[in-house]
Chain A
Amino acid sequence: MSTEAPTPTSAKETLAGTHHMPGKESADRRQVTQGRWAYTLLTPTLVLLGVVILYPIINAIIMSFQKDAGLDPATGFFTEGGFTGLDNYTHWLLQQCGSGPALGPCPPGTLGAQFWDAMGTTFFFTIVTVAMETVLGFWMAVIMARAFRGRALVRASVLVPWAIPTAVTAKLFFFMFAFEGIVNKIFGTQILWTGSEWPAKWAIIISDVWKTTPFMALLILAGLQLIPDEVYEAAKVDGASAWQRFTQITLPLVKPALMVAILFRTLDVLRMYDLPAIMTGGANNTTTLSILVVQQIRQGLNNASALSTITFLVIFLVAFIFVRFLGANAVDAATTGKK
């Protein structure tokens, strides 16, 4: 903002504060006091976030290098606690159960044997739901951007799925996808939706798409509204077809908003818990990484900490790739104002 430099305020400050010549030096000084004031205001937030996020994270990392004391569910042997190096990580990543001479691949059915399946399921959910939400959300945004009577009604109604708690959404779709439920009646099918692998996965995906597409649509809509009409008019005059206008004007200009929306949604689905936990309890190969962590909590907190640290690193890595290579720059969007 250009209101900073030559205002009476800074002049007054210069006079009151120091006997120096007004100039670069006092501007620097002002910058310093403003910086100090800024960090004073930021301190409560940073301290609180440090307590509720950094402390648990550091704790989780320390715990992840400790052995869980007690009976090993896979082998039935008693194991001692204490430092164990990377054992908890190899337990998940290499699916090795037991310790010492009993070390071996995890028996099927144990949580350790499910890690890569859960990883696969989580990424499957992420890719499919985000892709569907992007396409559907884009379509909704394009419609909502048009001027027509009742537009306010449509914009209000897309907020309804967003406002419903995910736990309620899960129960609602569990009911609709019940064997005698409305979905089977409408389509004349007899599918045990939440009772077998692929129908269960699709039931969860459809529920998630229903719930979160509005968020995507509204973010894309906000991006669309920043494109001035004149650009489209000019393109029309130059003879660009509707498809050309979409691919050469709309897509590139809406890309920053779209990438941020995709980033937010991707990171959100990667930690998906509520929908599968309530609809299937993780049965039929719908266990996500988050569900696996929660199940592991009852069997050993230190091992669960290793798994939650892996989950955190996976999400962090995906976010890094998005920001670094795909240009989803949420921080810039927030700091630099209008783009």
Chain B
Amino acid sequence: MSTATATAARHSEAPARRRAFDWAPARTYVQAVIILIWCLAPFYWMVVTAFRDVGYTFEPTPFFNHVTFDNFVTVFDEARGNHFARNLVNSLLVAGITTIISLIVGVFAAYALARLKFSGKSLVLGFILGASMFPGVALITPLFQLFTNIGWMGTYQALIIPSISFSLPLTVYTLTSFFREMPWELEESARIDGCTQGQAFRKVILPLAAPATFTTAILTFIGAWNEFLIASQLSSDATKTVTVAIAGFAGAQPHQEPYTAVMAAGTVVTIPLVILVLIFQRKIVAGLTAGAVK
């Protein structure tokens, strides 16, 4: 390898470089700050507006002023026809149940795909990957008819079943890539000690797989929580989820787009996700990129 020559070259170069000011780190920082502003400014603007008095909706002041909690009151105000608490519960139910079902079913498939040798593996994986890229509109017309015929329109299962079609492939794909990196030697040891393959799976592998499963659960939950297309077409007033509610929101004045209230609703929906994402940042990045590159 040329590492030795490279280090030697770097050493001889170093004194010469020290004489002039090194601009490289400064350039990196400037670009990093631009990325930070680009990513965070719109989000920050949403939070600022959420806490701003309706009368000052279009005030361009970049920091918090005219602070009020009125917008949050409006969001949860049943008298104005907003049922945001109900919408939150609906979203939690739909996204939660979707995540649980996808994980319970998907964990077995991921184990098989990551661990076992069998013919047709590429085909199965291709099918699952294809399913995750599937356009939601292609499901919506037949489901619309089916759910109307069997009286499921406006039920939770009418939202959960299509959600599974998006989240299950994602769950299997992410879990498979995580599972491939786990220390499977422990499974071999367990089997030498007399465990069956099933026992080794339950007693050794499942506890080991818990962190990967948890990360996948977060990704699946966020995906299901953010779903809009299916929910906007197949939900009723009783089962409306938060994303659909935010899209058609009633504010303080009847004939005016209630920007501040919508931003408040957006903040309520987004802050938990952002906190979750910041806490589990490393794991989520690993989960998002798993499979695509490794």
Residues of chain A touching chain B, judged by Cβ–Cβ distance below 8 Å, are 1, 3-4, 7-9, 31, 34-35, 37-39, 41-42, 44-46, 48-49, 51-53, 55-57, 59-60, 63, 139-140, 143-144, 146, 148, 150-168, 170-173, 175-176, 178, 180-182, 185-186, 210, 214-215, 218-219, 221-223, 226, 230, 233-234, 236-237, 256-257, 260-261, 264, 267-268, 270-271, 273-274, 277-278, 289-290, 293-294, 297, 301, 304-305, 308-309, 311-312, 315, 319, 330-335, 337-339
Q: Which residues of A contact B281 (CB under 8 A)?
A: 152, 155-156, 159
Instruction: For B39, give the chain A residue with the smallest CB separation.
Output: A157
A44 partner, pick from B36, B108, B291, beta carbons under 8 A: B108
**CB-contact partner of A175 in B49, B176, B285, under 8 A:** B49
B180 and chain A: residue at smallest CB distance: A337
Q: Is the CB of A236 within 8 A of B266?
A: no
Residues of B within 8 A of A164 (CB): 43, 266, 270, 273-274
A290 touches B136 (CB 8 A): yes
Contacts of B266 in A (CB 8 A): 164, 168, 171-172
Among the listed B40, B112, B164, B259, which residue makes an inter-chain contact with A41, where contact means beta carbons less than 8 Å apart?
Answer: B112
With A52-B164, A164-B273: A311-B138 Cβ-Cβ less than 8 Å: yes
Q: In the complex, A162→B288 CA distance in Å?
A: 11
Q: Which residues of A contact B136 (CB under 8 A)?
A: 271, 273, 290
Chain A nearest CB, measured from B162 CB (Å): 7
Number of interface residues of B (CB under 8 A): 111
Return the contact of A274 from the options B133, B229, B274 (Cβ within 8 A): B229
Q: Which of A164, A218, A338 has the most CB of B within 10 A?
A: A164
B31 touches A143 (CB 8 A): yes
Cβ contact within 8 Å between A166 and B226: yes
6 additional A-B pairs beyond A152-B281, A331-B125, beta carbons within 8 Å, are: A38-B113, A49-B131, A52-B164, A164-B273, A165-B269, A297-B141
Q: Give the 8 A-B residue pairs with the shortest CB-CB distance, closest first.
A: A233-B6, A35-B118, A59-B142, A45-B109, A167-B243, A222-B289, A271-B135, A165-B226
B residues in contact with A331, CB < 8 Å: 122, 125-126, 129
* A59 CB, min distance to chain B CBs, angstroms: 4
One of B68-76, B78-86, B166-174, B203-211 at the interface: B166-174
Contact of A35 (CB < 8 Å), options: B119, B145, B169, B269? B119
Given known A-B contacts A53-B134, A294-B229, A335 and B40 have beta carbons under 8 A apart: no
Chain A proximity of B107: nearest CB distance (Å): 9
CA gap between A297 and B139 in the complex, in Å: 12
A sample of 21 inter-chain contacts (CB < 8 A) reads A1-B184, A3-B184, A39-B112, A41-B108, A41-B116, A46-B127, A156-B278, A159-B285, A163-B222, A166-B226, A168-B46, A168-B243, A210-B38, A210-B39, A222-B292, A230-B2, A233-B7, A237-B2, A257-B293, A331-B122, A339-B293
**Residues of chain B contacted by A148 (CB below 8 angstroms):** 25, 28-29, 32
Which B residue's beta carbon lies closest to that of A59? B142
Our pick among A41, A143, A144, A159 for the contact of B278 (Cβ within 8 Å) is A159
What is the CB-to-nearest-CB distance from B50 to chain A, in angstroms, rounded to a whole number?
10
